[in-house]
Every structure is written in C-alpha cells, then in structure tokens.
Amino acid sequence: MTMWGSRFREALDPAAQRYNASIGFDRRLAAQDVRASAAWARALRQAGVLTPAECDTILAGLQQIGEEFAGEGFVYHENDEDVHSAVERRLADLIGPPAGKLHTGRSRNDQVVTDLRLWLMDHVPALDSALADLQGVLVGRAEVELGVLMPGYTHLQRAQPVTLGHWWLSHVWPLDRDRERLQQLRRRTSQLPLGSGALAGTAFPVDRQALAADLGFEAPCPNSLDAVADRDFAAEFLFAAALIGVHLSRLAEGVILFSTREFGFFELADRYATGSSLMPQKKNPDLFEIARGQSGALIGELTGLLTILKGLPSAYDKDLQEDKQPVFRAYDRLAQALPVLAGALRTLSVRPERMAAAIDEDMMASDLADHLVVQGVAFRQAHEVVGRWVRLGLEQGRGLHSFTLDELHALHPAFTAEVYDFLDPTHSLSRRAAIGGSAPAAVAEQLAKARRAIERTPMDSPPSETIKGAGGSS
C-alpha cells in the first residue's frame, strides 16, 4: 500500500520503488513515529476531528504497535515504503477504518521531521551522558596522577614539564564544550514541526502549543514552510559529532604515541588491545586508531548533509530523505566509541619513571631565561643568551647544568647561583601557578572545577535510551 496511489494510472516501477523507499533505514524512527502519532490523535480529538472513542481506538492500536516494535515482533510488509506507511498500514490491520482518520491534517513532510527531531531529543542525552562518563574517567585518572611529572610537547618536541594530571584534564575541557553544544542544539531541536502539514500549515484547528507540550517540545515551529524544509538541527548535530570525533582523534593520537615503545609512557590493558594475525609479539592500539579514523568519517557525514541542503528551494524536497542515515551513523559511531575508549583509558597502565626520564634539562631553558628576567634582564635578551647557552651545550656535548657560573657570566653577567634551581622541573612547574597553569596547586583547583563541570545539569533523557558502560549501543 502506498499512501498516494489513486491519481496514478501505473504503479511505481519496482526498481524505482526500491530506490524511493526509506523503510530500510527510517524504521529506526518507529518508536518516535508511534509516539508522535499518538500525540497527533490526541490533538485531532481536541480539535474535534476525532471522537473520543475513535481517538481511544487509535491510541490502543498505536500502543500495541509500539509494543510490537519494542518486542521486535513488528512484521514489515514488502510494500511498506517508509515507517509512516508501515505504522498506518498496521494500524488499519488492527483497528480497521478509524485508522484512515489518523493522517487527517498532517503530511509525511511534517511527520518525518518531527520523528527525527524526537529521535535526536531522545538520543542526545545518552550521548551527553557517555561523554560525561568519559570525562569522569579522565578526571579520575587526573586525580590519581595529579603529580606525575611528564614532558609537555609542542610540535611534538619536548617543550616544558607538565604533569600527567594536567594532560588528562586538557582532554576534559573539549568534551565540556561538546556537551554545552549538545545542550544548546538539543534545545534548538526542540521546535515542533508537526502541525505544519505538507508546507502550508494544518487545515484543522489543532492547538500546536499543547501538541508541543504533549511531545516534550519547547514550542511549535513558527513557519510551516520553514518547518518542513529545515534540517539545521541535523546539520548542527553532525557538526557537534564531528567535533567530538576530532577531540577523540586528538586524545587517541596522544594515547597511540604514548603507547609506542619509543615514548613508552602508557601500556594498554590486554583487554583493550589487539594482536596481529602474522606477528605474534604485536600489541596494537586498534581501538584508538579506529576512533581516530572515524573522525574522518564523521567529518564526511557533516560535509555530506550540508552539501545536500545547499541550494534546495524552500519547503520539502525529497533530497531531504538523505538526512537520516548520516545522523544515525554518526550517533552509532560515537555511542560505540565512547564507552570503549572510557574502558581503555580507565585500565591503561602508566609508567611514571619513563615520563620522568623524558624530562631533559633543556626543557627548563625558558625558566633559565626567566631567571635572568628576575635579575632585570629584558626577556628578549635573556632568551637570546640562553639560546646561545643551549647551542654551546649541543656543540660541546655538555649538559646545561655542567656550565660553571664563570662560564655563564661569559654569556651574561646577570647570572647568579640561583640559576641552578631553575634547572629543576618541579621548580619549573611550581612557577606556573596562575589559573590554568601546570603548578600542582593550579591543577588541583582545575580538577575541582572539572568535577563541577561534569555535574552540569543533565539533560532530560527518557530512561530507555542509554549507552551502556559496557559499550552497548542503544
């Protein structure tokens, strides 16, 4: 059964029908379609289009369909073009003629985008919560490894000492921004298209404000043409997902590097590492590589949807059917990745002695320059002097600490014996005590702030949608 055949003298070509059908992927909207249909039935009753009895019959039918979907007992027919037709077809099976009244005053154009918005409103909180879990793991590690010295890098070259706690926390804040974005986009998603009809608004006196409230939306969309055409919320979700992907890729890159034998800072737990079919000794960070790779796929989904939207004339065009798969795929990737990465990070081993050993004394070069600054030398000059000291060391194959004060005076008269203190990495750390710095006290404050950020008021989430800590996808 299609919902539109009578005007046509010939049925759709079978290959064209397959090409046109979205049931292969929009069936994921089943629960949302049932929920929105029930709300629509109530709105039609309120508008006087359905009698209370008709409405109750429809609601009972929809209830059963919802249970069939939940129990995976729903049987699709070959001719179900999309989830909306499938639900209406099944409703007719169950309750007969009154089913034909449900589609009064609505269109698949406002229906499908309502379903997709509902789906996102249901699933974004689950993602948010999986992000919070990952943040929790990072903060937990930061707390334990607050004081573990490690080299900080820029350009992947050793730069200045930091602590592992500081490093873990540096990956918490990007996720915090992600969660803020999710919260804001969820609110923007929460505008109800239903009641916009095909494009010009519903022709029955439906109370859209009440309908919005019934479905948990903040407000009805203000313009019916825009309501059926707008996929900003999906693009915005894909952007947020892509940026989460980028953040995970950067974290993954760090873990992959630190797990190399050359760095040797981290070792993955056996149950979060994989081997080689050929090389028996291999222990590979596959999970982090997949996460890094998937950031590319997520960027591609975003590009794809934006390109689909480009240049579409207003109101509904069928191109918009291509909006759902990228959203589902992006969600699935993250829903699968986040708990796995959380598990892997929670269980990896750290080698503080390797980290400490990687702190070369020339990483304190800027501190040495600061020593001169404290003596009143201008920084630019101090930098130049220490640069020469470093070069001398390289040329003579000597450590910086081996230079005598006399030798240093030859470089600049302002050096004092205190300069040798500045070669100590913990001294270097302690000097960076301003907000956000790597001094232990500053990191401790930061940690407390991070804990508070994780506890940001969680979004309302229907209890059924969760991303399991064990990595199960919803």
Q: Tell me which residues are annotated as active site.
A: 155, 276
With CB under 8 A as the contact rule, which of the stretches 63-71, 123-131, 132-140, 340-348 interacts with a second copy?
A: 340-348
Pick the closer one to a second copy by CB: 67 or 303.
303
Q: Which residues pair with 191 in a beta bridge?
A: 219
Pick the closer one to a second copy by CB: 356 or 433.
433
Pick the closer one to a second copy by CB: 67 or 134.
134
Taking CB under 8 A as the criterion, which residues in 18-77 touch a second copy?
18-20, 49
Pick the closer one to a second copy by CB: 66 or 193.
193
Identify the residue among 285, 355, 419, 440 touching a second copy (CB under 8 A).
285
With CB under 8 A as the contact rule, which of the stretches 68-76, 101-109, 121-129, 130-138 interacts with a second copy?
A: 101-109
Residue 337, exposed/middle/buried by CB under 10 A (0-12, 13-18, 19+)? buried
88 lines the binding site for a second copy (CB under 8 A):
yes
Taking CB under 8 A as the criterion, which residues in 394-433 touch a second copy?
428-429, 431-433
Identify the residue among 94, 140, 147, 153 touching a second copy (CB under 8 A).
153
Instruction: Using the CB atoms, write b or e for 448-463: b if 16+ within 10 Å.
Output: ebbbebbeeeebebee
Minimum CB distance to a second copy, residue 27 (Å): 17
- Which single residue is written with the structure tokens 């002097």? 385
With CB under 8 A as the contact rule, which of the stretches 57-65, 120-128, 172-180, 455-463 interacts with a second copy?
A: 172-180
C-beta of residue 189 within 8 angstroms of C-beta of residue 142: no
Taking CB under 8 A as the criterion, which residues in 205-264 touch a second copy?
205-209, 220-230, 232, 235-236, 239, 242-243, 245-246, 249-254, 256-257, 259-264
Closest CA to 423 of 389, 403, 394, 400: 400
With CB under 8 A as the contact rule, which of the stretches 71-79, 116-124, 129-137, 383-391 interacts with a second copy?
A: 383-391
Give me 113's structure tokens: 């985008």
The number of residues that bind a second copy (CB under 8 A) is: 211
Instruction: Using the CB atoms, write b or e for 346-377: b if 16+ within 10 Å.
Output: bebebeeeebeebbeebbbbbbbbbbbbeeeb
Q: How many helices (H) and strands (E) does the chain have?
A: 19, 6
Taking CB under 8 A as the criterion, which residues in 431-470 touch a second copy?
431-439, 442, 446, 449-450, 468, 470
C-beta of residue 207 within 8 angstroms of C-beta of residue 48: no
Identify the residue among 26, 122, 367, 465 touching a second copy (CB under 8 A).
367
C-beta of residue 391 within 8 angstroms of C-beta of residue 365: no
Pick the closer one to a second copy by CB: 399 or 458.
399
Kindly list the distances between the CA atom of residue 303 and the CA atoms of 124, 179, 242, 306, 309, in Å, as whole numbers in the listed order: 20, 21, 10, 5, 10
With CB under 8 A as the contact rule, which of the stretches 61-69, 128-136, 299-307, 458-466 interacts with a second copy?
A: 299-307
CA distance 134 to 125: 14
Q: To 5 degrees, how large is the angle CA 448–CA 453–CA 455?
A: 100
